[in-house]
Chains A and B, each alone.
Chain A
């Protein structure tokens, strides 16, 4: 129980960071063409902020279901990386624990929980810490989504308050600190260039092409950078 509370407490800064996203998601859902129920349900069962935002943009742009789902897949692939990192720590828990811990795995919880697992003490209850972080994030996300839905309904024209730019600002804020290595910068430049060149493709397929090109160039340059390891 102490671990559970500590996990929740250590996640508080992340809650503050996630609050505006939840609020904006709830607010923009209506204008983008998602019903109130749909917005609330999406937060409840998908629970992945960036992909929920992108789904709204795509929906507003008239994209079909298949494209939205495919984009969600690409955008959320990074979670596989997180679960690969945490896997050794949860591998001995029953599936009844593993499934919900996986469902609630987010960027924020990963950042907090990874730090706890890295601490050297041998507490057998670190999964309770993980759960505490999860439930704090989940409750917070639902709360702010619903607040946003009501706010969007109550204040007409709130969509014109610059919230349409919030996603751009969010993504810039996520990407820029990652651009610390040459392969990362090259990956971003390739992806940007390809996205601009391929923007005419139907169904926003340009996004997929660009993302793939960016990943390939990044991996390739990284391989070039470490020729000794290939032997």
Chain B
């Protein structure tokens, strides 16, 4: 294991555990500000969207791929439709992966 791996893992632990523990540790002595609570409610959607959308529309990080042959786009759309309709996490991921693989087999290679 290289030094930078240890640094990464230590750093990730150092931020993740306090996020989970802080409010538990304080016990009953703390009120969570409503505005902060509301802001936190948007964090998962905002963060995960910011990660995913550029990956899907520019799979190589350089070029726009807004065509229907883009396997990332096809897979993401399939996952999105299944998630919207049935809400099942696993089914949605499965549908996305299968679509992605089929598209890649058809249009790349």
Chain A stretch 163-197: residues in CB contact (< 8 A) with chain B: 165-166, 168-179, 183-184, 187-188, 190-192, 194-196
- Partner of B50 from the list A88, A169, A211 (CB cut-off 8 Å) is A211
- Partner of A48 from the list B16, B32, B44, B96 (CB cut-off 8 Å) is B16
Interface pair A78/B44, CB less than 8 Å apart: yes
User: How distant is B108 from chain A, measured CB to nearest CB, in Å?
Assistant: 11
Chain B interface helix/strand/loop/mixed: helix
Q: Which size bracket describes the interface of B in this complex?
A: 35 or more
Bound-state CA distance A210–B25 (Å) is 31
User: How distant is A222 from chain B, measured CB to nearest CB, in Å?
Assistant: 6
Extra contacts, 16 of them, besides A78-B40, A169-B75, A173-B89 (Cβ < 8 A), are A72-B11, A74-B43, A75-B47, A78-B43, A80-B23, A98-B27, A99-B25, A105-B20, A165-B72, A168-B96, A171-B49, A172-B80, A172-B96, A173-B79, A176-B84, A191-B46
- A selection of 22 A-B contacts at a CB cut-off of 8 Å is A17-B90, A34-B5, A59-B8, A68-B12, A69-B14, A72-B12, A72-B15, A83-B22, A87-B28, A162-B101, A165-B96, A165-B97, A171-B48, A172-B52, A172-B83, A176-B84, A177-B87, A187-B46, A191-B49, A199-B54, A212-B46, A219-B35
